Amino acid sequence: MAEIICGGFGGQGILTTGMILANIGVDEGLEVSWSPSYGSEMRGGTANCSVILSDDEVGSPKVTYPDYLVVMNLPALQKFEHSVRDNGAILIDSSIVPTDRAFPEALPVYAVEATQLAHEAGAPRGANVIMLGALIKISGLFSEDAARRGMNRFFERKGKNSPGNDDCFTLGYTRVYRVQ
């Protein structure tokens, strides 16, 4: 159904963005895998994860050609932007990644000021959930309801449920815009 790479600096919560997405997929009855990068894959300042959402058995857990690339820093964008599939899309945190640059020409590029919006909302650690909301909006991978339900279940299981998560999701869902 879709293969996604989420990347950024360690501490931005981008691996959790991928993990929430994977958990939504599980709740929706899909075959799912989530795999982190580690070791030499992380040289160059990116932490990233591969998420696979599928109707069929998952093959390699590592995504080589993503349908969606979701990035919260420039190194992650530079590392993966040329591997995105032709019918794929790129989503960036435009408070960190500049939008006035040359992106792969044929691809739609979306942006949301995730880190900035999170600070303004008084939820600085919610930037990753803003990215999730934006991804759901641009991809339609799941309905808004299913995504929120899965996200809240994820945080409930971790004992970290809060209305702030829904607020951040809404920010991402409503404030994402197309750059290219």
Partner 1 sequence: MAETRFMKGNEAIAEAAIRAGCRFYAGYPITPQSELLEYMGAHMEAAGGTFVQGESEVASISMVWGAACAGNRAMTSSSGPGFDLKQEGIAYLASYEAPAVVVSMMRYGIGGGDITAGQDSYLQAAKGGGNGDYRLLVLCPNSVQECVDFTYQAFDLAEKYRNVVLILGDGAVGQMMQNVVLPDYVEPNINRYDWVIKGRAAGEKKNKATNLNWYMGDRPWEAHIREKLHRMQEQEQRWESYLVEDAELVYVAIGVSSRVAKQAVKMGRAKGLKLGLIRPITAWPFPRKAFEAVNPDVKGYMVVEMSIAGQMLEDVYGATQFSKPAYCCCTGIDIPVAEDVLARAEQALRGELEPEVAL
Residues that bind partner 1 (CB under 8 A): 19, 22-23, 26, 32-36, 38-41, 57-62, 64
- Measured distance between the N- and C-terminal CA atoms of the chain, rounded to whole angstroms: 24
Residue 89 CB, nearest distance to partner 1 (Å)? Answer: 21
Asked whether 37 and 6 are in contact (CB, 8 A), the reply is no
Residue 115 CB, nearest distance to partner 1 (Å)? Answer: 26
Strand partners, 91: 70, 110
Residue 150 CB, nearest distance to partner 1 (Å)? Answer: 11
Q: Up-side HSE of residue 154: CA atoms within 13 Å toward CB?
A: 22
- Residue 38 vs 177, nearer CB to partner 1: 38
Cα separation of 64 and 107, whole Å? 17
- Residue 40 vs 100, nearer CB to partner 1: 40
Q: Which residue has the tokens 């997405």?
A: 21
Q: Which residue has the tokens 């075959």?
A: 31
- Tell me the pairing of strands 177-178 and 2-8: unpaired
- Residue 59 vs 140, nearer CB to partner 1: 59
- Residue 59 vs 124, nearer CB to partner 1: 59
Residue 34 CB, nearest distance to partner 1 (Å)? Answer: 4
Residue 171 CB, nearest distance to partner 1 (Å)? Answer: 26
> Residue 11: CB partners within 8 Å, gap ≥ 6?
none
- Residue 19 vs 131, nearer CB to partner 1: 19
